[in-house]
């Protein structure tokens, strides 16, 4: 990001940690001479207990920021050892950073606001999007930080809609609905439909439904078997007929609304829906597998979510998405070996190449590794098979001393045609 303003940094959050309630401060700084990150903003989250970062590290106060991260527990964290954290904290102590004022926030800071996560910041971002969301850079920058929060943000944006800014608000709401639809997950889709029903503004209702319709169409996708129209990319199976569909059908009777609803109805399926194909067969987890899944959830949240994010869509520049990843839902030994031994070098995920490294999770025993693998293969509406400790032990016996895998080792490239 090229800096065209004098924005030098600001406090975006100051208050209790959600981990243990002790005080922390989050400071976003503008610009960096780091060769890896380039000229981009950086967010520093520091204990706010009156100690320097080095002192806070020794006293254990960094648990308010890092929780039980193994790098903190094992004293191997790189981040707090660099000059940056010390310099930022020193400037903060001197009063060098103002508290964020949304009114003076440059438009190009939308992506940083979106990452801050505090309620006040989300409201400020909603206002910024209503005013400037038709600017592609602003909108796309903000949406990159919206995974898992699309419906909540759409509600905030719709609440800002007036006769004067209806076009801008509708544009952003539609983009958020498209993001939900493109993710191809039934739960968020139903949440967005319920939001549409709750809105009193017909223009905002139409924006939601139009976004859900547009996001579910991909001209390059193969037709889904059983779909009425070949443009539907993926059918979404709900547990029952969503009440929102009937309510929206009664509310949106104009040509545009009816057409968008028809597209959504073409994609949303439930058992017993007239004309629907047979639903996919999902083998339920046994009681033991469910317990392993829940154990895996706890491990993932404490060990993996910082990079891959709780919603599983990853983080640009840090970790690829796990949701619908062929590396996760394909052969179970592949993801297990990645967690066990790590992965290095370029890897293609969802059509995009990531050139990053994942370290081995050597601290996980067989039960733990089986649990986290089971979790990622069944979370986010995945339906892949679980694994158990016996399966992991067999892999460990065979590959315990293997270095980090490459993508070609795990999935050899097809031989060139002669």
Q: Taking the CA of residue 70 as centre, how many other CA atoms within 13 Å lie in the half-sphere pointing to its CB?
A: 13
What 3-state class would DSSP assign to 42? strand
Residues 303 and 380 in one domain: yes
Q: What are phi and psi of 93, to 5 degrees?
A: -65, -30
Residues 135 and 55 in one domain: no
Question: Is 171 contained in some domain?
Answer: yes
Question: Is 100 contained in some domain?
Answer: no
Residues 166 and 252 in one domain: yes
Residues 119 and 188 in one domain: yes
Question: Is 275 contained in some domain?
Answer: no
Quote the domain boundaries for residue 388.
287-410
Question: Is 248 contained in some domain?
Answer: yes
Residues 174 and 240 in one domain: yes
Question: Is 266 contained in some domain?
Answer: yes
Lookup result for tokens 């780091």: 34
What does each of the 418 residues of the chain score in pLDDT, given as a tens digit? 333 445 578 887 888 887 788 899 988 776 554 443 444 567 788 899 998 888 888 888 888 887 776 666 666 565 555 555 788 888 999 998 888 765 555 554 444 445 555 677 788 788 888 888 777 656 766 776 677 889 999 999 999 989 888 888 999 999 999 989 988 899 999 999 999 999 999 999 999 999 999 988 754 444 334 434 445 567 899 989 999 999 999 999 999 999 999 999 999 999 999 999 998 888 999 999 999 999 999 999 889 988 888 888 887 777 899 999 999 999 999 999 999 999 998 999 988 898 888 999 999 999 999 999 999 999 999 999 999 999 999 999 999 999 999 999 998 655 433 3
Residues 326 and 356 in one domain: yes
Tell me how many helices (H) and strands (E) the chain has.
20, 7
SS (H, E, C) 283-306: CCCCHHHHHHHHHHHHHHHHHHHH
- Relative to beta strand 352-355, strand 346-349 is antiparallel
Question: Is 146 contained in some domain?
Answer: yes
Question: Is 415 contained in some domain?
Answer: no
Question: Is 233 contained in some domain?
Answer: yes
* Measured distance CA(355)–CA(266) in Å, rounded: 38
Residues 172 and 263 in one domain: yes
The C-alpha angle 288, 289, 292, rounded to 5 degrees, equals 90
Decide which of 93, 115, 149 is a domain's last residue: 93
Residues 243 and 372 in one domain: no
Residues 167 and 266 in one domain: yes
pTM of the model: 0.64
* Measured distance CA(277)–CA(271) in Å, rounded: 9
**Residues 146/128, Cβ–Cβ less than 8 Å:** no
**Which domain CATH number covers 360?**
1.10.760.10
What was the pLDDT predicted at 118? 62
């Amino acid at each position: 990001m090229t800096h065209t303003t004098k924005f030098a940094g600001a406090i975006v959050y100051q208050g209790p940690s959600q981990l243990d309630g002790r005080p922390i401060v989050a400071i976003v700084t503008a610009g960096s001479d780091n060769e890896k990150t380039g000229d981009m903003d950086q967010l520093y989250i520091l204990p706010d207990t009156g100690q320097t970062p080095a002192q806070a590290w020794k006293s254990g106060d960094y648990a308010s920021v890092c929780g039980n991260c193994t790098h903190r527990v094992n004293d191997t964290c790189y981040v707090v050892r660099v000059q940056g954290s010390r310099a930022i904290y020193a400037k903060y102590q001197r009063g060098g950073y103002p508290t964020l004022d949304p009114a003076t926030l440059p438009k190009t800071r939308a992506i940083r606001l979106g990452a801050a996560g505090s309620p006040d910041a989300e409201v400020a971002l909603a206002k910024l999007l209503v005013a400037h969301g038709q600017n592609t850079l602003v909108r796309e920058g903000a949406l990159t930080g919206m995974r898992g929060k699309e419906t909540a943000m759409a509600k905030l944006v719709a609440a800002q809609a007036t006769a004067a800014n209806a076009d801008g608000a509708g544009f952003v709401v539609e983009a958020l609905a498209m993001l939900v639809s493109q993710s191809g997950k039934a739960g968020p889709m139903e949440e967005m439909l319920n939001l549409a029903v709750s809105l009193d503004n017909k223009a905002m209702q139409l924006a939601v439904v139009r976004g859900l319709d547009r996001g579910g169409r991909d001209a390059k996708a193969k037709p889904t078997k059983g779909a009425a129209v070949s443009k539907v990319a993926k059918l979404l199976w709900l547990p029952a007929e969503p009440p929102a569909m009937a309510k929206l059908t009664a509310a949106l009777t104009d040509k545009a609304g009816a057409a968008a609803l028809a597209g959504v109805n073409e994609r949303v399926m439930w058992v017993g829906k007239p004309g629907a194909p047979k639903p996919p067969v999902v083998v339920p987890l046994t009681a033991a597998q469910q317990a392993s899944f829940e154990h895996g959830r706890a491990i993932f949240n404490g060990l993996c979510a910082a990079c891959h994010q709780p919603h599983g869509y990853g983080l640009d520049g840090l970790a690829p998405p796990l949701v619908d990843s062929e590396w996760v839902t394909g052969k179970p030994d592949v993801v297990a070996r990645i967690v066990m031994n790590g992965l290095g070098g370029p890897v293609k995920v969802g059509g995009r190449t990531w050139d990053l490294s994942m370290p081995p999770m050597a601290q996980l025993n067989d039960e733990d590794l089986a649990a986290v693998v089971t979790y990622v293969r069944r979370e986010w509406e995945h339906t892949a098979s679980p694994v158990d400790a016996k399966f992991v032990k067999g892999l460990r016996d065979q590959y315990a001393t293997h270095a980090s895998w490459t993508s070609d080792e795990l999935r050899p490239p097809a031989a060139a045609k002669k």
